[in-house]
Amino acid sequence: MGSRAAALIIDQLILTVTSILVVLGVIIAEFGQLSMSYIPELSSLPIVIAIILLFIINWGYFILLEYYTGGRTIGKKVLGLRVIQDNGHSLTLLSSIIRNLLRIIDSLPTAYLVGMIMVFFHSQHKRIGDLVGGTVVVHERKEKRRNKLTPIEQEIESRGLTKKDLTIDEWTLKTLGIKEWKLLKTYSNRLLQLRDSERRELTKEIAAILFEKVGLDYENYENKNIRELENTLLMLYLILKEEWDFEL
């Protein structure tokens, strides 16, 4: 509850500053200069515009950021949190809309009291928005220190591979689930333990399964050396690791 509260405070500070800027912008647009004494003289149109903008910003901030940035608002990202669906998949737009609109109930009677009580007593720390939206907030695993890298992470680092070296569009990534992640994770963890012949066969089998799902032509890769196949799978591992390596 503490980390979620801290993330919410950060988000609310951002929204408060943004809301103040919107109001000041409306005053300047109406009168050509900034003076709080002009507020009583505002006509109905600027007030309506300001209200609409404030509504869009304060509700759209949570809904759109959580959907388009993998379940992370700015506050959640700072605190190492993210929102996912109960089944482990990335947050859908509908789930994001539902969980965030129900903030109205979670915030009752004041200061998110209902939400805090739910988070405190629920086994998975869910508020009402999470229960109805089918979502859960999880902690992302922190990056390990350089001297505590796993063998496969050391191998990836020694090859100079990064997730930026392989481009997979966002919609394709959303079609990959926990099944593909577990397959790739098992492959990566076993890779260095296999003999060359077993390693070559396993790499070809996994590549044949996964390349088609991420829009890569396996036939073009099949004629390349086995290390290039391994490198592509390891880069895909890095991409999915960011999406799926979390803890409740």
Give the residue, 16 or 109, on which the prediction is more confident.
16
121 and 9 fall within a common domain: yes
Lowest mean pLDDT among 76-85, 126-135, 237-246: 237-246
Last residue of a domain, one of 123, 140, 157: 140
Whole-angstrom distance, CA of residue 21 vs CA of residue 11: 16
Within this chain, do residues 113 and 158 fall inside the same structural domain, yes or no? no
Region 109-128: mean pLDDT is 87
> How confident is the model over 155-171, as pLDDT tens digits?
999 999 998 888 888 77
Higher pLDDT residue, 189 or 173?
189
pLDDT-based confidence at residue 147 (cuts at 50, 70, 90)? low
Give the confidence band of 39 by pLDDT, cuts at 50, 70, 90: low
Which is nearest to 52 in space by CA: 19, 27, 28, 90? 19
Distance, CA of 18 to CA of 130 (rounded, Å): 26
Do residues 86 and 31 both lie within one domain?
A: yes
Task: Write a three-state SS string for the chain.
Answer: CHHHHHHHHHHHHHHHHHHHHHHHHHHHHHHCCCCHHHHHHCCHHHHHHHHHHHHHHHHHHHHHHHHHCCCCCHHHHHHCEEEEECCCCECCHHHHHHHHHCHHHHCCCCCCHHHHHHHHHCCCCCCHHHHHHCEEEEEECCCCCHHHCCHHHHHHHHCCCCHHHCCCCHHHHHHCCHHHHHHHHHHHHHHCCCCHHHHHHHHHHHHHHHHHHCCCCHHHHHCCCHHHHHHHHHHHHHHHHHHHCEEC
Q: How far is CA 110 from CA 100, 105, 113, in A?
A: 16, 10, 6
Looking at the structure, tell me whether residues 114 and 201 fall in a common domain: no
pLDDT band at 150 (very low <50, low <70, confident <90, very high): confident
| The total number of structural domains that make up the chain | 2
Confidence of residue 15 (pLDDT cuts 50, 70, 90): very high
Please report the pLDDT score of residue 60 as a whole number.
92
Q: Point out the domain boundary residue: 122, 140, 158.
A: 140
pLDDT at 128: 93
Confidence check: pLDDT of 45 > 90? no
User: Which two three-digit tokens encode residue 219?
Assistant: 């036939």
d(CA 105, CA 107): 5
Quick one: pLDDT at residue 35? 56
Mean pLDDT for 190-199 is 90
- Select from 119, 140, 161 the last residue of a domain: 140
**134 and 150 fall within a common domain:** no
Is residue 79 located within the same domain as residue 116? yes
10 and 48 housed in the same domain? yes
Domain span including residue 120: 2-140
In this structure, the answer to whether residues 155 and 226 fall within a common structural domain is yes
Evaluate if residue 42 carries a pLDDT over 80: no
For the chain, what percent of residues have pLDDT higher than 70? Answer: 89
Examine the domain organization and report whether 19 and 86 are in the same domain.
Answer: yes
Confidence bin at 2 (pLDDT 50/70/90) = confident
Residue 33 has pLDDT above 80, yes or no: no
Specify the pLDDT at position 34: 55
pLDDT digits (tens, 9 = 90+) for 83-117: 988 877 778 899 999 999 999 999 888 878 898 89
- The mean pLDDT of 148-159, rounded to a whole number, is 87
136 and 177 in a single domain? The answer is no
Q: What is the Cβ-side half-sphere exposure of residue 21, based on CA atoms within 13 angstroms?
A: 7
Looking at the structure, do residues 132 and 50 belong to the same domain, yes or no? yes
Residue 85 phi, psi (nearest 5) = -80, 160
Q: Is the pLDDT of residue 174 over 80?
A: no
Q: How confident is the model at residue 13 (pLDDT cuts 50, 70, 90)?
A: very high
Average confidence (pLDDT) over 66-84: 90
pLDDT at 28: 77
Residues 65 and 125 reside in one and the same domain: yes
